[in-house]
Amino acid sequence: MENSFFIYTGKRDTIQIERFHLCTWEFNNNSSLVEFGFEISKESIKDDRLTISLFIPWVEKSCESQDLYDKLIVADNSRFIFNDSISATKYLKNHTNNSGVIHTFNGRNELCVLPADIKIDEHKIVSATLNLKAYKEYKQECKPNVYFRFWIKPSVPFISMRKKGVSKSTIIYDIKVNERRNIPDDKIEYFNDQEFCKIKYCFSFNILPNKYDIVFFDSASLKNVRTLEYESFNKYLGDKRVKKDELIVVFNKKEVKEFENKEVAESFSFFSIYSMERIGTGQFALAILINIICGVLIFIPGYRKTFDPEISLLKVWSVLPSEIIIALTIAVALLIYFILPVIIYKVKTGWSWVLNKIGLKR
């Protein structure tokens, strides 16, 4: 699946994103989730409202989304997400956390976490709007950067590229951020009127079942591989699909390089491959199916010759022994075993497409 993301604003806005977080989740029940996090440099904040847009090639208007502000105002969650302990949390307005909070970390600068209004339109564009009035009115001489985060549930099981073989399954992630050469042809004119956000650090997290092995990774960007911290993530995400000791986290990080005081990196890309050896019921079923078919094909020519005169291939089916009929029945059942999941997936995909079209017409 295409995973070229574009982060931008209008031409009159020049937004500096200090850190961009992209976190992909793949669960064992063939479903996924994608988180997007933005830390906006305080120097970029000029007005009382700010809208950042994100073009996502696979997103649909029907996709479910959720702002994660309510999760991040909890100190334990933010401590875990930002990998630093929190010594204090301050409210922006009226001693309530409705307008935003400022977390004071021990090892990094303060950070203001704000709620965001997330909207998805029919053109595959996600818009996040921040109300910055309380932030600007907050009496603090040196204001912190602003952060918001949200997740989207894709309308497809996975956003990664999947390749399934007889004995191996492969996951391929090819993620690109703000790579202009990957702008879709029908969006070139549109993006000519937009301003891509400048990103200083780009973080990519692939969270997937631990039964997969890393086959290929970018050694320059890979920072960490670990088992998912179940207790912390379960509390933060609140998703029943997160199971203990089932998921691993592959963490990659890239940053803008400077040459003669000029920024030379305008885009980011992350490529990785994961594979899993599969020797289970599917492989055994396929072996039995092939064995039955081969056995029947070998049996029929010799069986035809036992008749005098030799009967034709069309007539032999009506006089086959019951054992062969049973074997063929098993073969048909095994064939259905392989084909039925594909049919069900195609039907669900088609039905989702129909519902989406009906929703657009309304």
pLDDT digit string, tens, across residues 73-83? 999 999 989 98
Whether 314 has a pLDDT exceeding 90, the answer reads no
Cβ-contact 17, 128 below 8 angstroms: no
Whether 200 has a pLDDT exceeding 90, the answer reads yes
Q: How confident is the model at residue 272 (pLDDT cuts 50, 70, 90)?
A: very high
Q: Span 4-277: which CATH code?
A: 2.60.40
Whether 36 has a pLDDT exceeding 80, the answer reads yes
Whether 131 has a pLDDT exceeding 70, the answer reads yes
pLDDT of residue 129: 96
Q: What is the pLDDT of residues 171-198, one digit of tens each?
A: 999 999 999 999 999 999 999 889 899 9
pLDDT of residue 240: 87
**Among 140-144, 222-226, 246-250, which is the least confidently predicted range?**
140-144
Token pair listed for 238 = 């609140």
Give the residue ranges of DSSP H helices in the chain.
Answer: 69-72, 75-81, 133-137, 188-191, 230-237, 281-305, 313-316, 322-361
If one counts every other C-beta atom within 10 angstroms of the C-beta of residue 120, the result is 19
Whether 66 has a pLDDT exceeding 70, the answer reads yes
- Of 36, 299, 19, 301, give the one whose Cα is nearest residue 159: 36
Q: How confident is the model at residue 124 (pLDDT cuts 50, 70, 90)?
A: very high
* pTM value > 0.95: no
Whether 107 has a pLDDT exceeding 90, the answer reads no
pLDDT of residue 7: 96
Output the average pLDDT for the chain: 87
Give Cα 325 distance to the centre of its chain.
46
pLDDT of residue 281: 66
Residue spans of the domains in the chain: they are 4-277, 281-361
Whether 232 has a pLDDT exceeding 60, the answer reads yes
